[in-house]
Structure 1
Amino acid sequence: MSATTSGAPAGVVFDSVAAVLAAVGQPLGETSWMPITQARIQQFADATGDQQWIHVDPERARSGPFGACVAHGYLTLSLANLFLPQLVRYEGLRMGVNYGCDKVRFPAPVRVDSNIRGSGEVVAASAIGDDGVQVTVRITVQVQGQDKPGCVVDTISRLYF
């Protein structure tokens, strides 16, 4: 393991196709906690046009099914992109692309002002030619104080060393 950039939590470093292939089943650790603020929820609502009251109307949401505003599921999902480079880093990479996601689930709501963090695990990897690998990393968005995560997603990347 090695540290990632600018004070981020320690992340696992892979420097070859073989290293990624050998990592299947390996946990990648956890990121630092981060708050989910009403401002972040509102920015996401503005960016996507999803202004549903359970996200953006704190007064009405207090008497709603969650007792407060909740983050959009897709906001929670999008934070996998923030957590992934904090959990894993690739050295000697010529090119990497997001290939997609599998098995996206939202087991529990993420209430406003809760703290979340990402944890990761390499769940699959397969070689692509001589210098590439397709890797699936499961990101679990943990919610502080909750048993169930806010999101679980299998992210798929194609990496060329």
Structure 2
Amino acid sequence: MGKLVINNHEEFEAHLGKVMGESEYHQITQEQINKFADATLDHQWIHTDPEKAKDGPFGTTIAHGYLTLSVMPYLWEQIAQFNNVKMLVNYGIDKLKFGQAVKVNSEIKLTATLKSLANLRGISKAEVEALLEIKGEKKPAFTATMIFLYHFE
């Protein structure tokens, strides 16, 4: 299935209650984990020290939970292209639950379902059910409801 193209609120509404799609897999590398650690000042050894992490609970380093959350916009853009948008606002996250750690070099992908859509005086408030899967694992990295505000022209 190709990327959805959405030009206005009405086209967006046609996907209500449906799976909008899934992203490609994205590999989480140690370099990405280290850069995220630098950006957030979170250098806990379980993320940044591969030698020490060998003896840790996962046998290797793991991505920060918030790193996996931070790649959401990148993965979401692979699923849907929104045209005629003046501005997009990441409005919030509901019911975020981390289900499983993402080990270094794991591949993750997003499956997105449009849970609700409201027209608030010309602004489309979308609640997207997000499932972040880890290739080869039964439990997801996380589930959440992402809330976006689309200001269509």
Structure 1 unmatched ranges of 5 or more = 2-9
Deviation of 1:87 after TM superposition, in Å, equals 1.0
Q: Give the counterpart letter for 1:148 in structure 2.
A: K
Q: Give the counterpart letter for 1:117 in structure 2.
A: K
Match of 2:35 in 1: 43
Aligned counterpart in structure 2 of residue 127 of structure 1, from 112, 119, 138 = 119
**1:15-49 Cα shifts (integer Å, max 9, x gaps):** 22122233221112211112111111111111111
Residues 78-93 of structure 1: pairs in structure 2 closer than 5 A: 78-93=70-85
Aligned counterpart in structure 2 of residue 69 of structure 1, from 61, 70, 86 = 61
Could you say what secondary structure the match of 1:94 adopts?
strand
TM-score by length of 1: 0.88
Could you say what secondary structure the match of 2:112 adopts?
strand
Deviation of 1:160 after TM superposition, in Å, equals 2.2
Structure 2 unmatched ranges of 5 or more = none
Q: Give the counterpart letter for 1:141 in structure 2.
A: L
Q: Distance in 2 between matches of 1:13 and 1:88?
A: 6
Q: Distance in 2 between matches of 1:54 and 1:123?
A: 35
Q: Give the counterpart letter for 1:74 in structure 2.
A: Y
Q: Distance in 1 between matches of 2:105 and 2:63?
A: 10
Moved more, 131-140 or 34-43: 131-140
Percent identical residues: 36
Q: Distance in 2 between matches of 1:77 and 1:97?
A: 16
Q: After the TM superposition, which segments of 4 or more aligned residues of structure 1 sit over 6 Å from their partners?
A: none
Match of 2:86 in 1: 94
TM-score by length of 2: 0.92
Q: Give the counterpart letter for 1:84 in structure 2.
A: W
Could you say what secondary structure the match of 2:124 adopts?
strand
The answer as to whether partners of 1:140 and 1:153 remain within 8 angstroms in 2 is yes
Q: Give the counterpart letter for 2:28 in structure 1.
A: I
Q: Distance in 2 between matches of 1:36 and 1:160?
A: 32
The answer as to whether partners of 2:24 and 2:75 remain within 8 angstroms in 1 is no
Aligned counterpart in structure 1 of residue 25 of structure 2, from 10, 33, 44 = 33
